[in-house]
A and B are shown apart, each in its own frame.
Chain A
Amino acid sequence: MSGHSYQGKKNIPKITSDRLLVKGGRIVNDDQSFYADIYMEDGVIKQIGDNLIVPGGIKTVEANGKMVIPGGIDIHTHFQMPYRGTTTVDDFSQGSKAALAGGTTMIVDHVIPEPGSSLIEAFEQWRNWADEKTCCDYSLHVDITHWNDRVKQEVDILLKEKGVNSFQVYMAYKDFYQMSNSELYEIFTFLGEMGGIVQVHAENGEIIAEEQARMLEMGITGPEGHVLSRPEELEAEAVFRAITIASQTNCPLYVTRVMSKSAADIISQARKKGNVVFGEPITASLGTDGTHYWSKNWAKAASFVTSPPLSPDPTTPDYLNTLLASGDLNITGSAHCTFSVAQKAIGKDDFTQIPEGVNGVEERMSLIWEKAVTTGKMDENMFVAVTSTNAAKILNLYPRKGRLAVGSDADLVIWDPDTVRTVTAKTHNSAAEYNVFEGMELRGGPSVVICQGKLVLEDGGLHVTPGVGRFIPCTPFPDYAYKRVKARKQLAVLRAVPRGMYDGPVSDFSPLSRGGTPSASARTSPTKQPVRNLHHSAFSLAGNPAQRGELQKHLHLPISLPVSDCHRKYQGTHKYTHTHTRAFRSRLSVR
């Protein structure tokens, strides 16, 4: 807790000398619940307990025995995101207002630099936008959209000086954001050494591109083509591949947007084997499903378009909520990224052109309460963990955020478990015309929201001030993810076997015959030849490399083979591919 740094903020004076007492609430943290009053001053919790000695004449909020929880942290938003010359309809002001209305008092937005442009410039750009307009505290993830030595230096600076500890990479969006496996390997290695968190958008972009072309060829141009061209399997495959790379590079992995049962299962299995991997289901995948892609109403169907797509399996939300309750998935985001119908209509004749994104920042907490807590899947402490505490831990902001304790930020919510609200685009705080949760009845919601020690929601009235949100810098090596990684690094010192020198005859060989597989794309760095990398082959996070190798073989082959284009790329990482390709090919041609 030592030294809260309100670095570089022009608007500290606005939040000073605010004193507030929350009386008679039941404080719910992720480990326990107890009755106590909370006194806060200058945006920080100063006292917790009974019969507090506080200055006279201060503002008092009666909680009347209701739950008082740490304000939610939405770890995944895209406010004011530029898209082909326009931006998403919810800017930082509108978006953070919606967040506060739903009980979320901190957001973490994604900075998405154009491929080829500077990461730091993009980061500064986002900082300016957010500082100007955000109504609650925020942090930023930076997406790595291309990879070279300059980007590497910029990432280093962002980590060490700019307060960014998480970076997203893409396994989808071919020829745009997508990274090759070798690039992923390099990025993971680098971030693993520097203490960053690798977030991954996990979908197999190569196969998607093929499938998209096939769908369009078949004359399917509507939003249903989106989900048809991105089957669940492609998400699961990419999640598995990302976990494999992370495990080889001993780097903690964070999978953004877990949308399907099979992807969630892969994460959960990997966690059981000991991999350091975290899964983030989003409001949409926890609350609704992909059957709406077949809606006759184009605008409605298009409003559900996001990637990976919502699964058409209607049991998915229930399943993901169960895994969230059992701790196999850890953190929830909203991936709030809203476009107007007119913007979505860019893709009215071609689903691949529909801007991707759904709403969810306002509904996130109520929806989890409704689907998981009122159904008895999880208890209130776990609710706090998945909506706030775990996110704070992975961002390395705990216990400043994510916990009600003396010295923590005064971001808190009085939660009314019985209030019922029907979600509708008419009353929501987002500027989007469609709400993907339209008509859903949600039990549980905030009755009072306090952000930075100030009342922003009370008696149904929302009072926000754009621009008060502070950038909260995140530091590298969060304990939550890195303690185990650090310990494993110490263990993983690999040594060569000392042998006598071989001095027998050596047959002639041509210098290019081995190790020199040509790189599949120009981006591939020649420094990594994973096939031959014996140094890494003996190291296993889970302790049983043989078994993992088996699984890897099984999962990768059938999926990666049908696309002739992508197999070459895989050659680099998976030595099995080449030998098996021909056999599979011949089988394919028969089909």
Chain B
Amino acid sequence: MQNVELPGYRHSYLHGNVSASRSRAIAPLERDESVPMETCFVFFPGRSNGLLIRGGRVVNDDRSEFADVYVEHGLIKDVGVNLTVPDDVRVLEANGAMVIPGGIDVNTCLLKPHLGCPPVDDFFLGTKAALAGGTTMIIDHVVPQPGDSLLEAFERWQASADRKCCCDYSLHVDLPNWNAGVQDELEVLVQEKGINSFQVYMAYKDMFQMTDSQLYEAFSFLKDLGAVVMVHAENGDLIAQEQSKILSMGITGPEGHPLSRPEELEAEAVFRAITLGNRVNCPVYITKVMSKTAADTITQARRKGSVVFGEPITASLATDGSHYWSKNWAKAAAYVTSPPLSPDPTTPDHLHSLLACGDLQVVGSAHCAYSTSQKAIGKDNFTLIPEGTNGVEERMGFVWDKAVAMGKMDENQFVAVTSTNSAKIFNLYPRKGRIAVGSDADIVIWDPDRTKTITSKIQQSAVEYNIFEGMECRGGPVAVVSQGRVVYEEGEGLQVQQGSGRFIPRQAFPDHVYQRIRTRNKVKGRQGVTRGMYDGPVYDVPAMPKYITPSPSAKTSPTSHQPPPIRNLHQSNFSLSGAQLDDNVPRRSGHRIVAPPGGRSNITSLG
């Protein structure tokens, strides 16, 4: 009776994932870089590489039950009590502790260069830290420099990760700019490379920042591809102004960072991103929710029905921005990230409440660790300080400490925000994010009572300043199983294998995100009013009709030109929210009305 939900899943994700990954999935738990993958299968001849996790309480996002979990070849084979398993399997005793799906950290930057230097935590150190904290999968951001090819950047990231990752990984691709070439590359990435999420920037003026019209086009295009649009939401124009103002006031230290990026600018951008998402009928995922006002904006939009997701990060959930005023420059600089940590000390508490009630869904870490000497690039000018904080190792612990141990959320919701919701949004569910037959054997035995004091001395990350230094954290993993292999056991330490992490491709159109979008496409098609032909006199107009507003910038594409509601019958059939076959073909709206071929004899024939 125990294996409740199981058989159905086995095939459901088979069809949900690119089958290539399956053949790799069965492969090799102990993989050496020199050994070609196909041959790794025969590592323990004569011995099954099964693993039994006994006597635990299996906690999924919907319920908890006492059950054993049997794992073979990196997959969960059985869940239940009194399982029949081979004699020679390794047994991991859970002793009544929680057995949860391994965490998924959806936001890491382990290769994102700042002015040419990569962060000190690469894919090896970063994933090692992740595993130590109970996270068994990361999704890293590919950050191409403006002008670079997305595909090349993606391949560079993938190559580095394949060589170094110790746990499964996947990749988001950030869009540094928007043009026709990018569109072709996006199609390839989505359809052939298994990428279904892309980040756009509303900040970093003259670098990554896109204008609203570009965002509109990017949203429309990505939505047709079935991708998840991630937004770095901050008003870059205002930040640039504020930065120069603050520098001219003589403030050059890290405190200038939050001063030039007030909370309001984040909330404004979140609101704008959601508005764009609503107009295009595109799901929006806000990365790094750092302030109360930004979170509240998301909450309100969700209540009105917008498909929007919010991701607070370890830093915003566990600490605040008061440290920017620290007298110790190196310490203050360690907190620099964008959007900045809010100086309001009640922020973490508020974000946890919203996470507990489901208004925010996913916890990332935005782990991007630079050494103090790298941070010191900006010692005389805060705008040059490389941005990024640590958090991949501490992520799950702090959610437990600040939300579950405080009674704000229960253990099932804990699993949802640290793992299941990410798997659903990024189309990994139920392969990841659930303990069920057929799912990947990424499992954590979690001890809610373990207490640990965070310090850079015992952390896995190479960063000198841990922004959570000295904080006590209840809850932590006692054992971590990644790909069916025990990589961490209390007392035994970490036993990771560099390069054992697999790239997990993700298909477009995740159900959790796109079901509603699809229906809305169908029902929200707008139609013009069918009218009789107007054949009265027409006033002579100058060559430039008034409804062609001059585009605010040369980059603006005519597709995002919103027609004035009154007269333009030609355009009234075009639905802003509905998917059209030719959505991505630029449409020259103005021309058609001014001089249709054959003269303007019969206006209704177009309707």
Which residues from chain A sit less than 8 Å from chain B, CB to CB?
1-3, 27, 29-36, 47-50, 268, 271-274, 322-323, 325-328, 373-381, 389, 393, 398-399, 403-408, 479, 483-485, 487-488, 490-491, 541-543
A31: min CB distance to chain B, Å = 7
Bound form: Cα–Cα A534–B161 in Å: 58
Q: Which residue of A lies closest to B16 (CB)?
A: A34
Does B229 sit within 8 A of A, measured CB to CB?
no
Contact indicator A407/B4 (Cβ below 8 Å) = yes
Interface residues of B in 529-571 (CB under 8 A from A): none
Given contacts A273-B353, A376-B523, A379-B516, contact A34 B4 (CB under 8 A): no
Given contacts A378-B516, A487-B410, contact A326 B303 (CB under 8 A): yes
Given contacts A272-B353, A399-B63, A542-B353, contact A405 B410 (CB under 8 A): no
A26: min CB distance to chain B, Å = 10
Stretch at the interface among B214-222, B242-250, B255-263, B400-408: B400-408
* 26 interchain pairs, CB-CB under 8 A: A2-B1, A2-B2, A31-B420, A31-B424, A34-B8, A34-B9, A36-B11, A48-B7, A50-B11, A272-B357, A274-B356, A274-B408, A325-B305, A325-B516, A326-B302, A375-B519, A375-B520, A377-B516, A379-B519, A399-B63, A404-B8, A406-B6, A407-B4, A483-B412, A487-B406, A488-B407
Q: Which residue of A lies closest to B405 (CB)?
A: A487
Contact indicator A1/B2 (Cβ below 8 Å) = yes
From the candidates A1, A374, A487, name the one contacting B407 in the complex (CB within 8 A). Answer: A487
Residues in A whose Cβ lies below 8 Å from that of B410: 479, 483-484, 487
Bound form: Cα–Cα A406–B303 in Å: 35
Contact indicator B8/A27 (Cβ below 8 Å) = yes
Contact indicator A268/B303 (Cβ below 8 Å) = yes
Residues in A whose Cβ lies below 8 Å from that of B354: 272
Contact indicator B8/A379 (Cβ below 8 Å) = no
**Residues 210-228 of chain B: 1 if any A CB is under 8 Å from the residue's CB, otherwise 0?**
0000000000000000000
From the candidates A35, A271, A381, A399, name the one contacting B357 in the complex (CB within 8 A). Answer: A271
Contact indicator B6/A543 (Cβ below 8 Å) = no
Interface contacts (Cβ under 8 Å), in number, total 151
Interface residues of B in 323-358 (CB under 8 A from A): 349, 353-354, 356-358
Contact indicator B523/A32 (Cβ below 8 Å) = no
Q: Which residue of A lies closest to B430 (CB)?
A: A32
Interface residues of B in 384-424 (CB under 8 A from A): 404-412, 420, 424
Among B7, B16, B304: residue with most chain A CB under 10 A: B7
Given contacts A36-B8, A274-B357, A406-B5, contact A326 B305 (CB under 8 A): yes
From the candidates B1, B9, B299, B430, name the one contacting A407 in the complex (CB within 8 A). Answer: B1
From the candidates A323, A376, A405, A485, name the one contacting B303 in the complex (CB within 8 A). Answer: A323
Residues in B whose Cβ lies below 8 Å from that of A32: 12, 424, 429-430, 511
Nearest first, the 7 closest Cβ-Cβ pairs linking A and B are A34-B12, A376-B520, A483-B410, A379-B515, A488-B407, A376-B519, A487-B407
Given contacts A326-B305, A406-B4, contact A31 B519 (CB under 8 A): no
Q: Which residue of A lies closest to B359 (CB)?
A: A272
Bound form: Cα–Cα A443–B523 in Å: 13
Given contacts A31-B429, A32-B430, A479-B63, contact A322 B424 (CB under 8 A): no
Residues in A whose Cβ lies below 8 Å from that of B356: 274, 484
Does B62 sit within 8 A of A, measured CB to CB?
yes
Bound form: Cα–Cα A404–B404 in Å: 29
B16: min CB distance to chain A, Å = 8
A470: min CB distance to chain B, Å = 18
**Residues 50-94 of chain B: 1 if any A CB is under 8 Å from the residue's CB, otherwise 0?**
000000000001111100000000000000010000000000000
Contact indicator A49/B305 (Cβ below 8 Å) = no
Among B61, B303, B411: residue with most chain A CB under 10 A: B303
Which residues from chain B sit less than 8 Å from chain A, CB to CB?
1-12, 15-16, 61-65, 81, 299, 302-305, 349, 353-354, 356-359, 404-412, 420, 424, 429-430, 434, 511-512, 515-524
Given A376-B520, A377-B516, A398-B62, 6 extra CB contacts under 8 A: A2-B81, A35-B15, A48-B8, A406-B4, A406-B5, A487-B405
Q: Which residue of A lies closest to B305 (CB)?
A: A322
Q: Which residue of A lies closest to B295 (CB)?
A: A272
Bound form: Cα–Cα A399–B4 in Å: 8
A256: min CB distance to chain B, Å = 21
Residues in B whose Cβ lies below 8 Å from that of A403: 4-5, 62
Bound form: Cα–Cα A405–B299 in Å: 33
Residues in B whose Cβ lies below 8 Å from that of A49: 7-8, 10-11
Q: Which residue of A lies closest to B518 (CB)?
A: A376
B378: min CB distance to chain A, Å = 36
Bound form: Cα–Cα A268–B520 in Å: 24
Residues in A whose Cβ lies below 8 Å from that of B4: 1, 399, 403, 405-408
Residues in A whose Cβ lies below 8 Å from that of B305: 322, 325-326, 377
From the candidates A380, A542, A543, name the one contacting B515 in the complex (CB within 8 A). Answer: A380
Among B6, B410, B412: residue with most chain A CB under 10 A: B410
Bound form: Cα–Cα A322–B307 in Å: 12
Residues in A whose Cβ lies below 8 Å from that of B434: 31
Q: Which residue of B lies closest to A38 (CB)?
A: B8
Residues in B whose Cβ lies below 8 Å from that of A326: 302-303, 305
Bound form: Cα–Cα A62–B601 in Å: 55
Residues in A whose Cβ lies below 8 Å from that of B515: 379-381
From the candidates A31, A33, A271, A376, name the one contacting B516 in the complex (CB within 8 A). Answer: A376
Given contacts A378-B516, A380-B515, contact A36 B353 (CB under 8 A): no
Residues in A whose Cβ lies below 8 Å from that of B408: 274, 484, 543
Residues in B whose Cβ lies below 8 Å from that of A27: 8
B146: min CB distance to chain A, Å = 36
Bound form: Cα–Cα A374–B407 in Å: 37
Given contacts A34-B8, A49-B8, A479-B412, contact A381 B511 (CB under 8 A): yes
Residues in B whose Cβ lies below 8 Å from that of A487: 404-407, 410
B283: min CB distance to chain A, Å = 12
A277: min CB distance to chain B, Å = 10
B301: min CB distance to chain A, Å = 9
Bound form: Cα–Cα A272–B298 in Å: 12
Residues in B whose Cβ lies below 8 Å from that of A29: 5
Residues in B whose Cβ lies below 8 Å from that of A484: 356, 407-410
Contact indicator B523/A399 (Cβ below 8 Å) = no
Among A47, A272, A377, A407: residue with most chain B CB under 10 A: A272
B407: min CB distance to chain A, Å = 4
Q: Which residue of A lies closest to B438 (CB)?
A: A49
B519: min CB distance to chain A, Å = 4
Residues in A whose Cβ lies below 8 Å from that of B9: 34
Residues in A whose Cβ lies below 8 Å from that of B404: 487
Contact indicator B409/A406 (Cβ below 8 Å) = no
Bound form: Cα–Cα A376–B523 in Å: 8
A327: min CB distance to chain B, Å = 5
Q: Which residue of B lies closest to A322 (CB)?
A: B305
Contact indicator B524/A398 (Cβ below 8 Å) = no
Bound form: Cα–Cα A274–B355 in Å: 10
Residues in B whose Cβ lies below 8 Å from that of A1: 1-2, 4, 65
Given contacts A1-B1, A326-B305, A543-B349, contact A375 B8 (CB under 8 A): no
Given contacts A272-B353, A377-B516, contact A479 B303 (CB under 8 A): no
B470: min CB distance to chain A, Å = 23
Q: Which residue of B lies closest to A275 (CB)?
A: B357
Bound form: Cα–Cα A256–B358 in Å: 21
Residues in A whose Cβ lies below 8 Å from that of B424: 31-32
Q: Which residue of A lies closest to B349 (CB)?
A: A543
Bound form: Cα–Cα A196–B259 in Å: 50
Contact indicator B411/A483 (Cβ below 8 Å) = yes
